[in-house]
Amino acid sequence: MRAYSSVLLLFCLSGARAESLVITPSTISITVEVDSLVLPSLKLRITSDSQNETAFDFRGQSFSSSPITPVKPFLVPLSGVTPADVQVDLDTRELAQLRPATYAYNLYFSPIASPTNITVVRVDLILPAPPPPTVTSVVNAASLESSAISPVEIVTIYGDHLSQPYGYGISLVPLDPQSQNYGFPLTTGRTTVTLNGIRAPLLYSGLHQINAVVPAGIADASTAELIVIRDSQDSTPLRLPVVPAAPGILSFSQNGVVQGVVMNPDYSVADTNHPAPPGSYVSIFATGCGLLSRGFLDGQLIRVGPYPETTVPVAVTIGGKPARVTYSGAAPTYVYGLIQINAIVPVDVAPGVQPVVLTVAGSSSRQDLTMVVR
The arithmetic mean of pLDDT across residues 205-218, rounded, is 95
The model's pLDDT over 268-301, given as tens digits with 9 standing for 90+, comes to: 999 999 999 999 999 999 999 999 998 889 999 9
Q: Which of 37, 38, 101 is nearest to 69 (CA)?
A: 101
Q: Where are the domains of the chain?
A: 19-127, 134-241, 248-373
pLDDT at 11 over 70: no
Top-level CATH class of 19-127? Answer: mainly beta
The arithmetic mean of pLDDT across residues 19-26, rounded, is 95
The model's pLDDT over 134-153, given as tens digits with 9 standing for 90+, comes to: 999 999 999 999 889 999 99
The model's pLDDT over 214-236, given as tens digits with 9 standing for 90+, comes to: 999 999 999 999 999 998 999 99
The model's pLDDT over 314-325, given as tens digits with 9 standing for 90+, comes to: 999 999 999 999
Task: Report yes or no: 36 and 67 within 8 Å, Cβ to Cβ.
Answer: no
Where does the chain have alpha helices with state H?
Answer: 2-15, 92-95
Between the CA of residue 225 and those of 133, 174, 214, 236, 242, what are the distances in Å?
Answer: 15, 27, 11, 10, 10
* Fold agreement between 134-241 and 248-373: yes
**pLDDT recorded at residue 165:** 81
Amino acid at 336: Y
Does the domain at residues 134-241 carry the CATH identifier 1.10.540? no
Residues sharing a CB contact under 8 Å with residue 326, sequence separation 6 or more, in sequence order: 281, 342, 343, 344
Lowest mean pLDDT among 7-21, 179-193, 321-335: 7-21
3-state secondary structure of 253: coil
CATH number for the domain running over 248-373:
2.60.40
